[in-house]
Every structure is written in structure tokens, then in C-alpha cells.
């Protein structure tokens, strides 16, 4: 035991290795379970049975699938761009796993996160923006119009939704005052709304945090190419999109990347909005129950995994419920709804922090009420003038010059 | 390069050498590849390793911004355009001997000498990063941007705003 402690605890390199293994191994082992859970839950929601033949409850089905995929013939079409076709699955897998390097899954700073850097949130943004490469390269290298279209859709989608995601995270960064994810968890241990010390201040309970969580959740679904945002692989339009030409393990690697990304994005959501590794939003120490607080810390990985599972279940639920968006709907949702909402949320948080720090809580509330009044005033004014404009426009008529056969001048509402 | 010199290397040295080697190789690849998509991919690799070089210099924020802006956004647009055009390799005719080439190599060597003398030689004996640990952290950069350099920063933001408005004007003449 002593040498284990020497190698993995005191030695810096060994400790880093331990951190990486403790993060990556659970994900690698849980991804097949995830696929099973998705298929069973989806079947249940769609009133089917789903895979239930291999092992108890069909639990061994993913392993059977994995073996099948592994032994399938790996077909490389003739017209592909060889090198890029070969590296694209690896490029798709890399960001999915690298994403979680700053996620803390427990209170022990010696074990987690892999790197407790003070740019944690920015790191997540940066790595998730690399996710587009695998898809785009696969689409291009396949030399197939459906694949290329899938790749182009994916890149447009990812670039559009990244901005809104950044704005959602930025408002939380403002509220925390730090880019470090461990600091975010610590900030959420504080009293709820700064007033109730027994309850933890998870960001999803605060008004701005709730809006940010909503935006972030939608953007995450778009970033991971999941239904209802799975346009890059829309099967009725693009066969299978960017991985049409991939078979065998290369296809499996794409699949694994998608599920790992889902997993880790759920972890990011849990860390930023759902209080990280805490089980329930109750401050046990404030209630004088030190024993429970101690056990809460010890069982932290389980609670974190539970929150990830909740997030993934939410993903699957959405897939079973919502129809796929049209491409223009996708773009207008991202640019015209989520991004303005995110920016507005950001401004509100900044104003609230500034006014409360200058004039106290009263000043903040006064500013909020004042701003609300100003906004109502202006929107009613604008609406009124817009209405007047419409009335003015409705009076215009257009008469046809040449056609004497058309007796009726048409009313045009411009 | 003798054995003692190699023995005096710190892990930081090897890290730098590996990263710098990849960065240099990809930089050569950008101009050497015939296929524009390969060139663009090399540029992506170059920007990515450059970010790690920034990390080794304690400039985390700069490095991560490099990844977000260049690797994650700008190069994706580059690739986007290249793929839509689907150019393929450049087909060139054989060129005759040109004196400009020789001159170009000469001036290139001269530039390398100047850079080597002015930049690399003074850094020869340095083994660790000179900057303090939090030199490139978000707090320090934020403080500098909003105190010492607040005017240039604001002017740059206005410039960006003009760029945004201009691009909208160009793309949507009539709404």
C-alpha cells in the first residue's frame, strides 16, 4: 500500500496519471451502458420492448454490438481522401474526452479535477469548439454529397450555438467571479439568494441562472448533434450524414464520441448549474449535521454520476418527444432567440452585481424595477408606433395598369 | 550538441522542443502541401500547438483564446469555404530557372540570421519561464485591459462593432 501511495499520491506525474485514469476509465466503461439505457428508455417511451434478449434486461446487448462492430469488414471507399478519412474518427473522439479535464467530480483536490486551472470554463468552450472538426473532416473526406452536406450543416450549427452557450456560461462566471470550476461549486455551497443559510445556492435556483441553464441545455443538445438538432445526420434527407461512408470500428468511434460528449456535457451542466457533486441543495454543516456532510463528501462521485445520468435521461427524453427542427428554424432559434436572450441575461447579471455592490440589495431591486419600467414604456411606445405604421400602410392600394379585365384593385398589406 | 547539454535539459525543455517541432513542421506543411484542405489542416495544427507553447510560458488566457478564436472559429470557416470550393491540388507548369528564387533564399537566410542573432541568442541560457505564475491569468489580463489599456481596448471594440455593422450592410443591402 505504501508504494502505491508513493507512486500515485506524492509523485506528481503518477498523481496526474491517476487523475486521468479516474476520469477516463469510468466514461469508457459507462458508454456501453449509456447506449443500453438509451435504447431501453426510448423503447419504453415509444411503447416498444427494445433489446431484452442478451443477458438480464438486455444488459449485454452493447457488448454484443461492440463485438459485432469490431469484427465487421472495414470498408474504405475508393474515392475517399485516405489520410483525412482515416484520422477523422480520432479527431471526433479527442474533444469529447478532453472536455472533462477541468470537471471536479468530488471534493478531494488531490484526485479531481485533472487540472484545476483558473481558465476552466474557457477551456470547456475551447475544446467543445474543436468538436466540429471530426464531423467536418469526415464529411469532406468521404467524397459523398450527403456526407459533405452533413458536415457543412454540423459546422454551421456548432458555430451558431457556441455563441449562445458562451453567453450563458459568461453570466455564471460573472456571478461566481471566477473561471475555475471548483470555485463555481464552492460558490453554489453558499446560502440561497444570500439569505437562507440552510439551503445551497445552486445556480439553477436563481432567476438568471435558470435562464442561463435553459440556454445552455439547448445549446448542449445542438453541440452534441442530438435530436431535435440532429440535422447533420438526418436520415430521411442525408442517409446518415457525415458518417455515411464509415463502417466497422470507425463508425463505432463516432458513436462513442457522441455518447462521451453527452456524458461530459451533462457533467458540465451538473457542475455549473446543479451544485456539482453535492447530493441535495442542503447545507448539512449549517444544520449542524457534520456526519451527513462528511458522507456527502465521501459519496460525491456517486452523486455526480447520478446527476450525469439525469442529464442523459433528459437528452433521451427530448429525443423521444420532439420532432427534428427544419434548418431555418434551427438557425433562427440560435441567432434570434437564444443569443439575444443570453446577452440580455448577461447584461442583467452585470447590472445586478454592480448596483448591489454599490448601493446594496435595495439599490439592486430599485434598479431592476426602474429598468423594467423603462423597458415596458419603450416597448409600448414602439408597439404603438408600429401599429400606427401598419394602419398607414393599409390605406395604400395597388391598381393594375394594363389588365382592364381585373376590375378589383387589390389591397396590399405591405 | 554534446551529452552534457542534453543532461542539463529540464522537462520543460523537452516539452518545448516537442511542441516547437510540431509547430514548425505544420508551418512548413501549410506552404508545402498542394491540396488546400491539407494546408488548412496544417494551419489548424499549428495554431493548436502554438496555444500549448503559450501555456508553457504561463500565458494560459492567451493560449485558450488562441484555441477559441483561431482553431475553433476562424479555421472552421476557412475549411468551410475550401470544402465548398473543392479545389483539389494545384496544377503547375514547370518553371524555368529564375534568379528571383536564389535571391529569395538569400534574403530568407539573412532574415533567419538576424532573428537568430537578436532573439534566439539572448535566450540561450534561459531554462524556465521568466514570467510570474499568474502573469497570464484572467485576473491580471482583465486588470490590465480595464486600467492601463482601457482606451485601446474600447477603440478595438468599436472597430469590431463597425466590422459587424459593415458586414450586415454588405450581406443585407435590402431587408
pLDDT for residue B116: 82
Work out the end-to-end distance of chain A between its first and last CA atoms, rounded to an integer number of angstroms.
Answer: 81
> Which of B38, B60, B65 has the CB atom closest to A117's CB atom?
B60
Q: Does the pLDDT of residue A271 top 60, yes or no?
A: yes
> Which of A81, A126, A136 has the CB atom closest to B67's CB atom?
A126
Q: Dihedral of CA A351/A355/A361/A365: which sign?
A: negative
Mean pLDDT across A61-79: 84
For A149-184, write each residue's pLDDT tens digit: 888 888 888 888 888 998 998 998 888 888 888 888
> Which of A118, A137, A159 has the CB atom closest to B137's CB atom?
A118
CA A40, CA A35: separation in Å to the nearest integer? 9
**Secondary structure of residue B48 in the 3-state scheme:** helix
Q: Does the pLDDT of residue A195 top 90, yes or no?
A: no
The pLDDT-based confidence of B115 (bands split at 50, 70, 90) is confident
* Cβ distance of B71 and A126 shorter than 8 Å: yes
For A335-345, b where at least 16 C-beta lie within 10 A, e where not — what string? eeebbebbeeb
Question: Cβ of A85 under 8 Å from any chain B Cβ?
Answer: no
Residue with the bigger pLDDT between B92 and A329: it is A329
Tell which residue, A312, A313, A284, has the closest CA to residue A298: A284
Q: Give the Cβ contact number of residue B45 at 10 Å.
A: 19
Mean pLDDT across B8-35: 83
Tell which residue, A392, A362, A353, has the closest CA to residue A171: A353
Residue of B76, B88, B143 best to disrupt the A interface, most CBs of A under 10 A: B76
Q: Are A67 and A74 in contact (CB under 8 A)?
A: no
- Percent pLDDT > 90 in chain A is 2
The pLDDT-based confidence of B163 (bands split at 50, 70, 90) is very high
Q: Does the pLDDT of residue A408 top 80, yes or no?
A: no
Eight-class DSSP state of A325: P
Tell which residue, A286, A245, A199, A224, has the closest CA to residue A92: A224
CB neighbour class for A189 (10 Å; exposed up to 12, middle 13-18, buried from 19):
middle
Give A-chain residues touching B15 at CB under 8 angstroms.
Answer: none
CA A104, CA A276: separation in Å to the nearest integer? 8
Q: Does the pLDDT of residue A334 top 80, yes or no?
A: yes
Q: Does the pLDDT of residue A252 top 90, yes or no?
A: no
Question: Cβ of A313 under 8 Å from any chain B Cβ?
Answer: no
For B36-57, write each residue's pLDDT tens digit: 888 888 998 899 899 888 888 7
Residue written as grid cell 521568466: B130
Q: Does the pLDDT of residue B130 top 70, yes or no?
A: no
Task: Please provide the DSSP assignment of B69-92 as one string.
Answer: IIIIIIHHHHHHHHHHHT--SPP-
Q: Give the Cβ contact number of residue A395 at 10 Å.
A: 7
* Cβ distance of B71 and A130 shorter than 8 Å: yes
* Cβ distance of A129 and B138 shorter than 8 Å: no
Eight-class DSSP state of B95: P
pLDDT for residue B107: 93
pLDDT for residue B7: 66
pLDDT for residue A391: 60
For A72-96, write each residue's pLDDT tens digit: 888 888 877 778 888 888 888 888 8
Question: Cβ of A130 under 8 Å from any chain B Cβ?
Answer: yes
Q: Does the pLDDT of residue A280 top 80, yes or no?
A: no
**Which of the listed ranges A25-34, A275-284, B117-126, B132-141 does the model predict with the highest average pLDDT?**
A25-34
Tell which residue, B15, B43, B23, has the closest CA to residue B127: B15
The pLDDT-based confidence of A351 (bands split at 50, 70, 90) is confident
* Cβ distance of B65 and A148 shorter than 8 Å: no
CA A69, CA A313: separation in Å to the nearest integer? 25
* Cβ distance of A140 and B44 shorter than 8 Å: no
Question: Cβ of B44 under 8 Å from any chain A Cβ?
Answer: yes
Q: Are A244 and A147 in contact (CB under 8 A)?
A: yes
Q: Find all residues with CB under 8 Å of B96, minimum gap 6, and list them.
A: none
Q: Which of A109-118, A321-330, A334-343, A365-374 has the lowest mean pLDDT?
A: A109-118
CA B162, CA B151: separation in Å to the nearest integer? 17
Q: Which residue of A has its CA nearest to B67?
A: A126
Angle, helices A12-45/A248-273, rounded to nearest 10 degrees: 100
For B143-155, write each residue's pLDDT tens digit: 888 888 999 999 9
Residue with the bigger pLDDT between A11 and B146: it is B146
Distance, in angstroms, between B37 CA and closest chain A CA? 9
**Which of the listed ranges A19-23, A56-60, A125-129, B105-109 does the model predict with the highest average pLDDT?**
B105-109
For B60-101, write each residue's pLDDT tens digit: 888 888 888 888 888 888 888 887 777 666 666 666 777 888
Q: Are B68 and A122 in contact (CB under 8 A)?
A: yes
Per the confidence metrics, is the pTM higher than 0.90?
no
For A367-399, write each residue's pLDDT tens digit: 878 888 888 888 888 888 777 666 655 555 666
Question: Mean pLDDT score of chain B, rounded to an integer?
Answer: 82
Question: Mean pLDDT score of chain A, rounded to an integer?
Answer: 82
Mean pLDDT across A346-357: 85
Give B-chain residues touching A167 at CB under 8 angstroms.
Answer: none
pLDDT for residue B162: 94
Residue with the bigger pLDDT between A216 and A108: it is A216
Q: Find all residues with CB under 8 Å of B149, minimum gap 6, and list them.
A: none
> Which of A117, A122, A155 has the CB atom closest to B80's CB atom?
A155
**Secondary structure of residue A397 in the 3-state scheme:** strand
Task: Please provide the DSSP assignment of B21-43 as one string.
Answer: HHHHHHHHHHHH-SSHHHHHHHH
The pLDDT-based confidence of A242 (bands split at 50, 70, 90) is confident
**Secondary structure of residue A282 in the 3-state scheme:** strand
Amino acid at each position: 500500500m505504501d508504494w502505491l501511495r508513493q507512486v500515485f499520491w506524492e509523485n506528481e506525474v503518477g498523481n496526474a496519471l491517476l487523475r486521468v485514469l479516474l476520469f477516463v476509465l469510468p466514461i469508457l466503461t459507462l458508454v456501453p451502458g449509456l447506449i443500453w439505457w438509451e435504447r431501453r428508455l426510448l423503447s419504453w417511451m415509444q411503447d416498444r420492448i427494445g433489446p431484452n434478449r442478451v443477458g438480464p434486461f438486455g444488459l449485454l446487448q452493447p457488448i454484443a454490438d461492440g463485438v459485432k462492430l469490431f469484427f465487421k469488414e472495414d470498408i474504405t471507399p475508393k474515392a475517399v481522401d485516405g489520410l483525412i478519412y482515416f484520422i477523422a474518427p480520432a479527431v471526433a473522439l479527442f474533444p469529447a474526452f478532453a472536455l472533462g479535464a477541468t470537471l471536479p467530480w468530488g471534493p478531494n483536490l488531490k484526485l479531481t479535477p485533472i487540472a484545476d486551472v483558473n481558465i476552466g470554463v474557457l477551456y470547456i468552450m475551447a475544446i467543445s469548439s474543436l468538436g466540429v472538426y471530426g464531423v467536418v473532416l469526415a464529411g469532406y473526406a468521404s467524397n459523398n454529397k450527403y456526407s459533405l452536406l452533413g458536415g457543412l450543416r454540423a459546422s454551421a450549427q456548432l458555430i451558431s450555438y457556441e455563441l449562445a452557450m458562451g453567453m450563458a456560461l459568461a453570466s455564471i462566471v460573472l456571478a461566481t467571479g471566477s473561471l475555475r470550476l471548483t470555485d463555481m461549486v464552492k460558490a453554489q455551497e453558499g446560502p440561497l439568494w444570500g439569505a437562507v443559510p440552510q439551503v445551497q445556492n445552486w445556480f439553477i435556483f436563481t432567476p438568471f441562472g435558470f435562464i442561463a441553464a435553459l440556454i445552455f441545455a439547448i445549446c448542449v443538445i445542438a453541440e452534441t448533434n442530438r435530436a431535435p438538432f440532429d440535422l447533420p445526420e438526418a436520415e430521411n434527407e442525408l442517409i446518415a450524414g457525415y458518417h455515411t461512408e464509415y463502417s466497422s470500428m470507425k463508425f463505432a468511434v463516432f458513436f462513442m464520441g457522441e455518447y462521451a460528449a453527452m456524458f461530459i456535457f451533462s457533467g458540465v451542466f451538473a457542475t455549473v448549474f446543479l451544485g456539482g457533486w453535492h447530493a441535495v441543495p442542503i447545507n448539512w454543516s449549517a444544520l449542524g449535521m457534520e456526519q451527513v456532510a462528511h458522507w456527502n463528501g465521501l459519496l460525491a462521485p456517486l452523486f455526480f454520476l447520478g446527476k450525469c445520468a439525469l442529464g442523459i435521461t433528459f437528452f433521451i427524453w427530448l429525443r423521444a418527444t420532439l420532432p427534428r427542427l427544419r434548418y431555418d428554424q434551427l438557425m433562427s432559434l440560435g441567432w434570434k432567440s437564444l443569443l439575444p436572450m443570453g446577452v440580455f441575461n448577461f447584461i442583467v447579471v452585470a447590472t445586478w452585481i454592480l448596483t448591489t455592490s454599490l448601493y446594496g440589495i435595495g439599490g439592486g431591486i430599485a434598479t431592476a424595477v426602474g429598468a423594467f419600467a423603462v423597458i415596458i414604456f419603450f416597448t409600448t411606445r414602439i408597439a404603438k408606433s408600429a401599429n400606427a405604421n401598419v394602419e398607414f400602410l393599409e390605406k395604400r392600394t395597388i391598381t393594375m395598369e394594363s389588365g382592364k379585365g381585373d376590375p378589383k384593385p387589390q389591397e396590399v398589406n405591405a | 550538441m554534446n551529452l552534457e547539454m542534453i543532461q542539463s535539459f529540464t522537462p520543460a525543455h523537452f516539452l518545448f522542443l516537442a511542441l516547437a517541432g510540431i509547430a514548425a513542421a505544420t508551418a512548413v506543411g501549410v506552404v508545402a502541401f498542394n491540396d488546400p484542405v491539407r494546408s488548412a489542416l496544417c494551419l489548424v495544427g499549428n495554431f493548436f500547438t502554438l496555444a500549448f507553447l503559450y501555456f508553457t510560458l504561463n500565458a494560459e488566457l492567451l493560449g485558450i483564446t488562441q484555441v477559441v478564436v483561431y482553431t475553433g472559429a476562424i479555421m472552421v470557416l476557412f475549411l468551410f469555404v475550401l470544402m465548398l470550393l473543392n479545389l483539389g491540388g494545384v496544377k503547375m507548369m514547370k518553371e524555368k530557372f529564375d534568379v528571383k528564387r536564389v535571391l529569395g533564399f538569400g534574403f530568407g537566410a539573412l532574415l533567419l540570421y538576424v532573428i537568430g542573432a537578436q532573439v534566439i541568442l539572448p535566450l540561450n541560457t534561459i531554462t524556465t519561464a521568466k514570467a510570474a505564475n499568474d502573469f497570464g491569468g484572467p485576473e491580471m489580463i482583465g486588470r490590465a485591459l480595464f486600467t492601463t489599456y482601457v482606451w485601446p481596448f474600447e477603440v478595438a471594440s468599436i472597430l469590431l462593432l463597425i466590422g459587424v455593422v459593415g458586414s450586415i450592410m454588405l450581406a443585407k443591402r435590402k431587408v
